[in-house]
Amino acid sequence: MAEGGHVRYCPQCGQKVSPGDRFCNNCGYSLSVPPPGEGRITTERVHVPPPPARATPAQGGLGGFLRSFRLGKGALIGMAVALTLLLALLVAGGVVLFIGIGGKQEATGEASLHDLIQNQVGDYTLQTNEPYKLSPKQAAEAAPESRRVTYESSEGDEVNHVVGILTPRYAYSAQTEESKGFIDGFLEGGAKDVSVGGDPKRSEFAVTDASGKQVGRGILLRGTDSDALFWVNERLNAAVKAPAGEGQNFYDELPY
């Protein structure tokens, strides 16, 4: 008789086995393995709902795309302005330039942009000077006045120049989180999407007036095909894309 007064049988072949047998003498089955349904722990099946679907960025073209970066409002507007101006220059073709009030001459936006445009910048001669309109929202919140200008050198190299006045709250001198966010968005948004050729070298620089006071800051990209500069000087934002090695020279010749 088996343990507990019950006869034990091999679960594999049905042969009687003795208490203490570790293997069936008939088929060799291991008696240490409990038969199906014995010595097992049953568990209750629990339904686990799938994880919630990841929220997608709000639709709405450029605005929806920028909101997906979860940046502050000022940074988003700065990126939008940078990308819009960059697109305008790419559509115009040739070598591009965005300029804001920067460099040597501090400007507040009170003067007309038309009066700030130079007829001659180094070897580059002014070709066209026309208004450029941003979207109504960008014009109302960031840059109410903008112009697009083209220059050409004696060797035929072309430069497109877009200049825009910022509202006071986004000025470099405001020194608020909102102005800092706008400037960061403008500089990074422009530098991120401009193409200057393979292996670009990036550096940051301070925009200073004639006395050496810092009135803004910018980014310089040097590539194999061209140079690109983006900067903010007080209430003007700027960027330059020029032939390789010419971007810094063009910037140095500007009075702002």
Q: Which domain holds residue 29?
A: 1-46
Residue type, 222: R
pLDDT for 229 equals 87
Tell me: do 10 and 92 sit in the same domain: no
Tell me: do 125 and 172 sit in the same domain: yes
pLDDT mean over 161-178: 88
Task: Examine residue 64 and state whether it is found in any structural domain, yes or no.
Answer: no
Contacts of 116 (CB under 8 A, 6+ apart): 101, 107, 163, 256
Closest by CA position to 239, among listed 197, 179, 189: 189
Whether the predicted pLDDT of 11 surpasses 60: yes
DSSP-derived secondary structure for 181-202:
HHHHHHHHHHHHH----SS-EE
Residue type, 77: I
Whether the predicted pLDDT of 173 surpasses 50: yes
- Top-confidence residue, 76 or 2: 76
Provide the domain count of the chain.
Answer: 2
Confidence of residue 34 (pLDDT cuts 50, 70, 90): low
Task: Examine residue 141 and state whether it is found in any structural domain, yes or no.
Answer: yes
**Beta strand pairing call for 124-131 and 145-153:** antiparallel
pLDDT digits (tens, 9 = 90+) for 205-245: 999 988 889 999 999 999 999 998 898 999 988 888 888 98
pLDDT for 127 equals 92
Find which of 16-30, 48-62, 144-158 is predicted with most confidence, using mean pLDDT: 144-158
Tell me: do 206 and 246 sit in the same domain: yes
Tell me: do 1 and 127 sit in the same domain: no
Task: Examine residue 157 and state whether it is found in any structural domain, yes or no.
Answer: yes
Tell me: do 6 and 96 sit in the same domain: no
pLDDT for 239 equals 80
Tell me: do 42 and 81 sit in the same domain: no
Average pLDDT score over the chain = 74
Tell me: do 85 and 199 sit in the same domain: yes
Tell me: do 34 and 111 sit in the same domain: no
pLDDT mean over 190-195: 86
Task: Examine residue 203 and state whether it is found in any structural domain, yes or no.
Answer: yes
Distances (CA, A) of 236 to 36, 133, 145, 256: 81, 15, 10, 9
Task: Examine residue 53 and state whether it is found in any structural domain, yes or no.
Answer: no
